[in-house]
Amino acid sequence: DPSPDELCRLAVRLAGQAGELMLSHRAAGFSVASKSSPTDVVTDADHAVEELLRAELARCRPGDAILGEEGGASSGTWLSEHRARDERGAERSDGLANPVRWLLDPIDGTVNFMLGLPHYAVSIAAQLHGRTVAGCVLNPVSGEQFRATLGGGSYLGDRRLIGPRRVPLAEAVVATGFGYDPGLRARQGEQVGRLLGRVGNLRRQGSAALDLCALAAGRVDCYYEGPLGEWDFAAGLLIAEEAGVRSSGLYGRPAGTQLVAAAHPDQAAEFFDLLTELGVAKPD
């Protein structure tokens, strides 16, 4: 198996290439289309950046599985030419499958990119046997490069990140985001309206990946959002957790596509209880 450091070095290199391509598209102009709703936009820059990432991964690590926001899932290849088969010749599931899967969000914060708000990022995460072990999030405008490896800590450039400050929830600055469906957004707006009287303030910056990096860097105190794509949060969540943050999906679940909630370990239980009270996620 490749080491987390090896996968992180590749993610950092690819993020740098992706950042340059993003900025060139931003300068040269780009086309815009909508996906699930008129507010769920995608640009040709999103597609170009993901195609670059996929091509580089195919060159550097042929056969790895990939899940990208725009291109969907491509399964990894079997490492051994001989496919494991049982006595009836049926393919067995315990064959030597490729253990690496990449999660790609070519532009997280696409609406910000489209409008020229300088707060968007490429997010690249690498999983090994289903667990995220390396991640990189790069804001090409600020040049801020966040990265982490499982057990290796998280960094902004060469600065080690130590997570959010320890404050009472009533003083906490909470980052969140809202969905593309108008009905969902209305419900989320009602929930956040009730949240505001219980915390210090709110930040809605438009990129889940950068929100989680802000948490790791102590620029916000808490974060929650859902639903999200795996590609939105995989790298940022590793960066936050490696900075000492505690995460949850509520109801005893790990953080995931239904909800990512995260805070300082000393504040997390109270924050998660508040989110449960507000109904931001449902029990199974």
Q: Applying CB under 6 A, which residues contact ligand LIP?
A: 69, 105, 108-110, 177-178, 180, 206-208, 225, 232
φ, ψ for residue 159, nearest 5 deg: -90, 125
Nearest distance, CB of residue 271 and ligand LIP, angstroms: 18
Which residue's CB comes closest to ligand LIP? Answer: 177
Nearest distance, CB of residue 177 and ligand LIP, angstroms: 2
Q: List Cβ neighbours of 195 (8 Å cut-off, separation of 6 or more).
A: 174, 202, 274, 278
Nearest distance, CB of residue 1 and ligand LIP, angstroms: 29
Q: Sheet containing 260-263: which strands, arranged edge to edge?
A: 201-203, 173-176, 222-225, 260-263, 246-248
For residues 196 and 269, which CB has a smaller minimum distance to ligand LIP in the complex? 196
For residues 113 and 271, which CB has a smaller minimum distance to ligand LIP in the complex? 113
Nearest distance, CB of residue 50 and ligand LIP, angstroms: 11
Nearest distance, CB of residue 258 and ligand LIP, angstroms: 14
For residues 24 and 34, which CB has a smaller minimum distance to ligand LIP in the complex? 34
The three-class DSSP label of residue 6 is: helix
Give me 274's structure tokens. Answer: 């508040």
Q: What secondary structure letter does DSSP report for 206? A: S
For residues 42 and 97, which CB has a smaller minimum distance to ligand LIP in the complex? 42
Q: For the chain, where are the E strands, in sequence order?
A: 32-34, 41-43, 65-68, 72-74, 100-108, 121-128, 131-139, 144-149, 153-156, 159-160, 173-176, 201-203, 222-225, 246-248, 260-263
Cα–Cα distance, 210 to 233 (Å, whole number): 9
For residues 84 and 117, which CB has a smaller minimum distance to ligand LIP in the complex? 117
